[in-house]
DNA sequence: GCCTAACCGAGACGGTACGTCCGGTCTTTTT
DNA sequence: AAAAAGACCGGACGTACCGTCTCGGTTAGGC
């Protein structure tokens, strides 16, 4: 089941729509987010400036600050709303195939925005704003429902026992991908994903508890 | 018995000691590193300023820059030299016991400096200075020799088959600890470490390859 | 008898009335001019903002800019149309009396708007818009015709010789009033005007040329 | 008697010399003041920016703000310390000659900095900072002592009666020069000064009181 | 009585300057 | 020569204001 992700608000706020006045131009949101992601990919979080983002989007700085209170918020929102690949689950007939397909899709580096470089910038932003930290948990792995479906299938195929500690095992791939990214700068290759799945993930799932 | 880590230089440079003149006051090094770690724990990497570090250590800024070429280098060096728990390997008689003891020692949060908060600051520093990135790999896990010794014992006890992909499996604990740290702000508790070892690490090591 | 000044246009433009459509609401003009003068008196030209003027008049900014092309133009127009005392010439029977009456009327500080503070704001506006500079010359002294009438009477009474350099002597009072205003912030009091007339103006007019 | 004006402080503050540390580089003061005056003359007060001043002096903005709290303060200080012509009094043998020489010297437009353009900028600065208003009174006329000496000579030569209201008459020339400057943008020419002296100043001084 | 053009309040837009802050360097005096 | 203090350059930050544009809604004429 695929989730259509669209204009997610990081902090869910109600709608205090101020009557009259010119409404925010939604087109500027997208232009600014794109500009932010481009710059993030090109020069990284620290060298990316708000002025540069505004200039690239042919916007004024006030237009940026009207939407996001800081650089970090802009980056996080841009990432969540523009760079997050869809994460629907294919059915390949095996647990290994499903897991691999899902991981590849999430960590695909041929996305319009190079996920790896942008992800490093995103982590910078998150670290500077601890209150947004859990965002990383959200975006570095597929939605909970997708993960659950994946394991349900595997159980019904008899590939693995009824899993326990799924919330922990579900962290294995995102943890190792991000660690790799941060310590080497390299995005997780398909080979890396395959190795993690074969060497760590599957044995953990297959293990009997006693 | 592991090596006592003391005054490690992150980038091993030789000794171009400029003969003559007043030598650097070694006492200032420690004061500055402590001040840096305190501030890192209190307000985080981005809000920590070199001026504040110098002021807290009752030092001048030049005294800082005479020792470290940048803020990131200071933070990394402070972390490595002040906040890094020793990592010698006890012999508990079982693989599980050894691994748990080692992980607990490395991630002990009762150190004089709160490892978790400081580690987050350190990651910020590393992200801003990509050339120092691999430092994180180094300090987030025990020395390679210690890890090898641990597995050698387990093999000789017959607990696990001759391990393959040790370089990948060795990343499991640091990856998951750091992911937890970054996404929740919580340091890895002993219970968390135990669960990771039982649920992920040991099954991976015990799995037969085919 | 002086002319009633009413809705003077600073730059005389013809009438390109765009046929059809709702006409400008003349009531907004006055409200905006008043708001502008109030703010000018309260906080001065530089700290007065168009937003504040519009807000005080419960108007939108476009309503301001539909009428005046810039802040300076608004201020000048407001001054000319709201704060300019009438300047008709009484006949007191003597040159001294006429001059004093005229000056007092022009520099009267009991007007609904405090002329002095507003005048300072006006000068700021003029300095920033050099093309409007001569406006100051116009509004800081009575109309040329009134001045000429004043001297004609004095000559016919035999109080002074046929005056020469009237254009220069006519500047004495406005110059000294404005200098006083700018350098002390104090408006010209009746005593000040009297002293200027007795000490400077009348001797200049009585002097014989040779 | 000439007054050597050098490093005048607009607001006289005591000396709380902070012991150690690098002292303010006096050379930067001069460079910044010069840059400010140049820009003031070139483009006027409103279009002159602090960034441009700093850039022209090859300084950082902080170096400007360490010295002056605002643009207006910088301009005023620059004017007072760099652009103020000396005002010693020549002895030409006649009141008219002395007054003319003094006025010409003060309003000389061939000074290294074009006094007129800068003066207009200065007035803008003063109007925005009412607390500094009297500065204009100070710098727009020669020192009080010089003026007194001028009239003392004229009295002893028998050219004029013992003068009364000198403080008022002394304002005639600065008032009219500044009014001219503000309303026309033209600096006072030698001919203008001559006419003011002959038509207004001298008759006022020669008049008998009764 | 309806149409249409232009008004109105509200407020977002691009742009520009402000004044603050900080990283990393340099310069003083003191030890 | 190192240490403490602090000024220096450079450059990004986030704020404020100008003058323009856009929204939904209102208000004259002209038909």
DSSP notation for A158-206: TSSPSPS-HHHHTTHHHHHHHHHHHHH-PPPPHHHHHHHIIIIIHHHHH
C-chain residues within 8 Å CB-CB of D127?
A: 44-46, 120-121, 123-124, 127, 182
B72's enclosing H/E stretch is helix B71-82
Q: Measured between CA atoms, how close is B28 to chain A, in angstroms?
A: 28
What pLDDT is recorded for position C72? 92
> What are A3-54's pLDDT values in tens digits?
343 455 554 444 445 577 899 999 999 999 999 999 999 998 989 999 999 9
Q: Report the SS3 class of residue C148.
A: helix
The percentage of residues in chain C with a pLDDT greater than 70, rounded to a whole number, is 86
What is the rounded end-to-end Cα distance, in angstroms, of chain C? Answer: 36
Provide residues of C within 8 Å CB-CB of chain D: 44-46, 120-121, 123-124, 126-128, 130, 133-134, 136-137, 140, 165, 168-169, 171-172, 174-176, 178-180, 182-185, 195-196, 199-200, 202-204, 206-207
Cα-to-chain-centroid distance, residue C61: 26
Low-confidence stretches of chain B (pLDDT < 70) are: 1-22, 83-87, 111-112, 208-210
Judging contacts by C-beta atoms under 8 Å, the chain B residues touching residue A71 are none
Residue B116: name the closest of B191, B40, B10, B208 by CA.
Answer: B40
Confidence band for C128, pLDDT divided at 50, 70 and 90: confident
pTM of the full structure? 0.83
Interchain pair A182, B207: CB under 8 A: no
- D195 vs C128, C168, C175: nearest CB: C168
Query: Is chain B adjacent to chain C, meaning 3+ CB pairs within 8 angstroms?
Result: no
**pLDDT value of position D140:** 84
Q: Indicate the DSSP class of residue C158.
A: T
Is residue C14 predicted with pLDDT exceeding 90?
no
> What confidence score (pLDDT) does residue A209 get?
59
The region of weakest confidence among B35-44, C10-19, D48-57 is: C10-19
- Residue A139 is predicted with a pLDDT of 83
Average pLDDT, chain D: 85
Residue with tokens 């059809």: C20
- Residue B48 to residue B39: CA distance in whole angstroms: 6
**Cβ distance of C176 and D174 shorter than 8 Å:** no
Mean pLDDT confidence for A126-135: 83
Higher pLDDT, residue C109 or A150? A150
Residues of B in contact with A133 (CB under 8 A): 182-185
| Model confidence at C196: pLDDT above 50 | yes
The answer to whether D104 CB sits below 7 Å from nucleic acid chain F is: no
Question: Which pLDDT band, with edges at 50, 70 and 90, does D124 fall under?
Answer: confident
B178 contact residues in A (CB cutoff 8 A): 175, 178-179, 182
**CB-based contact B84:B103 (threshold 8 Å):** no
Which among C27, C13, C28, C75 is positioned nearest to C50, based on CA atoms? Answer: C75
Distance CA C84, CA C87 (A): 9
Sign, Cα dihedral of B166, B167, B168, B169: positive
Any strand F atom closer than 7 Å to D16 CB: no
> Can you give the distance from the CA of residue D132 to the C1' of nucleotide E20 in angstroms?
24
> Closest residue by Cα to the C1' atom of nucleotide F15?
A62
pLDDT for the residue numbered A108: 79
Q: Which nucleotides of F are covered by protein (CB under 7 A)?
A: 1-24, 26-30
Residues of D within an 8 Å Cβ radius of C: 45-46, 120, 123-124, 126-128, 130, 133-134, 136-137, 140, 164-165, 168-169, 171-172, 174-176, 178-180, 182-185, 195-196, 199-200, 202-204, 206-207
Kindly give, in sequence order, each residue whose CB lies less than 8 Å from that of residue B48, ignoring residues fewer than 6 positions away. B36, B39, B40, B71, B121
Q: How far apart are CA C174 and CA C106, in angstroms?
A: 10
Give pLDDT, residue B2.
Answer: 38
Would the CA dihedral through B172, B177, B179, B180 be positive or negative? positive
Structural tokens at position A92: 């390949």
Over residues A176-192, the mean pLDDT reads 92
**Cβ atoms within 10 A of the Cβ of A37, count?**
26
- Section C90-100 average pLDDT: 93
Closest chain B C-alpha to A85 CA, distance in angstroms: 20
- The answer to whether the CB atoms of A203 and B199 lie below 8 A apart is no
B25 CA: nearest nucleotide by C1': F2
């Amino acid at each position: 089941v695929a989730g259509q992700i669209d204009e997610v608000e990081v902090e869910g706020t109600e709608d205090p729509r101020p009557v009259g006045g010119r409404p925010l131009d939604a087109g500027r949101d997208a232009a600014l987010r794109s500009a932010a992601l481009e710059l993030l990919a090109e020069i990284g979080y620290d060298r990316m400036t708000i002025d540069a983002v505004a200039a690239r989007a042919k916007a004024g700085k006030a237009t940026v600050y009207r939407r996001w209170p800081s650089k970090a918020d802009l980056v996080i929102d841009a990432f969540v709303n523009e760079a997050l690949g869809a994460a629907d689950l294919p059915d390949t007939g095996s647990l290994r195939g499903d897991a691999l397909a899902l991981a590849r899709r999430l960590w695909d580096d041929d996305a319009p925005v190079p996920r790896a470089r942008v992800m490093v910038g995103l982590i910078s932003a998150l670290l500077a704003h601890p209150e947004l930290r859990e965002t990383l948990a959200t975006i570095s792995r597929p939605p909970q429902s997708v993960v659950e479906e994946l394991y349900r299938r595997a159980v019904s195929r008899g590939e693995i026992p009824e899993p326990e500690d799924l919330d922990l095992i579900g962290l294995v791939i995102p943890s190792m991908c991000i660690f790799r990214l941060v310590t080497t700068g390299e995005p997780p290759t398909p080979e890396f994903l395959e190795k993690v799945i074969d060497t760590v993930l599957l044995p953990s799932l297959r293990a009997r508890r006693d």
